[in-house]
């Protein structure tokens, strides 16, 4: 009925057309690949984008690999406008030619290493790799470890878990985190490989997929994992868990977004990307225990208190995504050959 009324009133239509923004000219949609409501509080982000921007953002439950595969398959006629990935997929997406450069508002506040210099992708939040510890499951006489090297002590035999770097992305992040913290580099994996070979003698638990529930239940007392999982266990599930940022240091791993090349609603896509770095957008991620990409964004006191102090996070360095992607196959090959699959 509204469409017929507009067709019957050309003067009104012309006036509305003159006031129309580029985003409105595209309709009120912006399709996102890999923005599942149950992860990172995308549910709140999708509602805020609808309420603040008037943009409805259909989503799906693709993972990063499926997202990249779909963008490549649809390259001639894209369906999505924006996409969300684990950070190591950024360079792959650029190489595949499925992203377009765009520098969103406030991008200058995102640290180097957390964004592509040419504007093809940027972090919206990050996770810091450390020790997700169930303090009760450790046992009465076993202290909470303070660093990577502590885990080689026989008192932690059978109590340490990490996801397999051969098959799990977080396992690969753990391999790089330990290696860099213990003096290695993106070209020299010897310190990390030596650590995991020594840890093998301590009978570690090595799952092939997410092990969150196994830590909360106490089956795995210590897991190499992200801060956001440990904080979710502590503050949401009220489990006897805490996050330890290893004293030797670690890395922060970004979760990124980019504008899809030749997407159907580019102006809406750009507005969505602007929102992800806005104060409101950054606070949404923090509510889900993900550290905002803009380090100086003001958070409510009760939210900020869930994170470790800034002095602790100073030991966490942003991973160099381009170098990680370039060398991760070699790192995994050495792990497989010298530690075992």
Query: Is the entire prediction scored with pTM above 0.75?
Result: yes
Same domain, 149 and 296: no
Same domain, 307 and 329: no
Of residues 58, 59, 55, the one with CA closest to residue 36 = 59
Domain that holds residue 274: 25-126+253-313
Asked if residue 160 belongs to a domain, the reply is yes
Map residue 285 onto helix, strand or coil: helix
Q: Which backbone phi and psi does 86 adopt, to 5 degrees?
A: -65, 145
Asked if residue 5 belongs to a domain, the reply is no
As given in the structure block, the two tokens for residue 205 are 């638990």
Same domain, 219 and 173: yes
Domain count, the chain: 2
Asked if residue 169 belongs to a domain, the reply is yes
Same domain, 97 and 243: no
Mean pLDDT by 10 residues, the chain (341 residues): 32 30 65 92 95 92 91 97 95 97 97 93 97 95 97 97 92 97 97 98 91 96 97 96 98 97 97 98 96 94 94 94 93 95 68
Map residue 74 onto helix, strand or coil: coil
State the pLDDT at residue 167: 86
Same domain, 204 and 175: yes
State the pLDDT at residue 69: 96
Asked if residue 284 belongs to a domain, the reply is yes
As given in the structure block, the two tokens for residue 18 are 């003159």
Asked if residue 1 belongs to a domain, the reply is no
**Contact (Cβ atoms closer than 8 angstroms) between residue 220 and residue 149:** no
State the pLDDT at residue 5: 31
State the pLDDT at residue 208: 83
Same domain, 213 and 293: no
Same domain, 112 and 231: no
Same domain, 187 and 224: yes
Give me the CATH number covering residue 204: 3.40.190.10
Asked if residue 17 belongs to a domain, the reply is no
Same domain, 162 and 242: yes
Long-range contacts of the stretch 321-326 (C-beta < 8 A, 24+): 321/87, 321/88, 321/90, 321/91, 321/113, 321/254, 322/91, 323/186, 324/88, 324/176, 324/186, 325/88, 325/91, 325/92, 326/186
Same domain, 177 and 273: no
How far is residue 192's CA from residue 165's CA, in Å, rounded to a whole number?
12
State the pLDDT at residue 8: 32
Asked if residue 45 belongs to a domain, the reply is yes
How far is residue 151's CA from residue 96's CA, in Å, rounded to a whole number?
40
Asked if residue 113 belongs to a domain, the reply is yes
Same domain, 156 and 214: yes
Same domain, 110 and 145: no
Map residue 245 onto helix, strand or coil: coil
How far is residue 6's CA from residue 13's CA, in Å, rounded to a whole number?
6
């Amino acid at each position: 009925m509204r469409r017929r009324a507009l067709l019957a009133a050309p003067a009104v239509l012309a006036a509305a057309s003159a006031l129309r923004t580029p985003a409105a000219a595209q309709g009120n949609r912006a399709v996102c690949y890999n923005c599942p409501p149950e992860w990172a509080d995308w549910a709140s982000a999708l509602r805020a984008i609808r309420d603040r921007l008037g943009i409805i953002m259909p989503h799906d439950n693709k993972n990063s690999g499926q997202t990249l595969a779909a963008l490549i398959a649809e390259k001639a006629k894209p369906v999505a406008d924006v996409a969300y990935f684990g950070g190591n997929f950024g360079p792959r997406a650029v190489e595949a030619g499925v992203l377009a450069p765009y520098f969103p508002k406030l991008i200058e506040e995102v640290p180097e290493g957390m964004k592509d210099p040419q504007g093809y992708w940027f972090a919206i939040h990050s996770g810091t790799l450390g020790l997700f510890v169930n303090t009760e499951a450790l046992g009465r006489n076993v202290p909470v470890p303070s660093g990577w090297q502590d885990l080689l002590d026989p008192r932690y035999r059978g109590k340490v878990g990490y996801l397999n770097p051969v098959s799990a992305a977080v396992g690969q992040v753990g391999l790089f985190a330990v290696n860099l913290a213990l003096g290695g580099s993106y070209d020299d994996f010897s310190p990390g490989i030596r650590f995991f070979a020594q840890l093998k003698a301590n009978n570690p638990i090595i799952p092939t997929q997410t092990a969150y529930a196994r830590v909360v239940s106490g089956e795995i007392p210590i897991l190499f994992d992200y801060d956001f999982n440990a904080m979710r266990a502590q503050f949401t599930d009220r489990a006897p868990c805490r996050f330890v940022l290893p004293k030797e240091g670690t890395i922060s791993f970004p979760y990124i977004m980019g504008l899809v090349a030749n997407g159907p609603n580019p102006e809406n896509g750009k507005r969505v990307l602007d929102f992800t770095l806005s104060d409101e957008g950054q606070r949404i991620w923090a509510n889900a225990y993900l550290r905002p990409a803009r380090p100086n964004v003001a958070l409510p006191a009760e939210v900020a208190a869930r994170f470790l102090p800034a002095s602790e996070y100073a030991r966490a360095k942003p991973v160099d995504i381009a170098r990680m992607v370039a060398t991760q196959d070699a790192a995994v090959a050495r792990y497989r050959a010298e530690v075992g699959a």
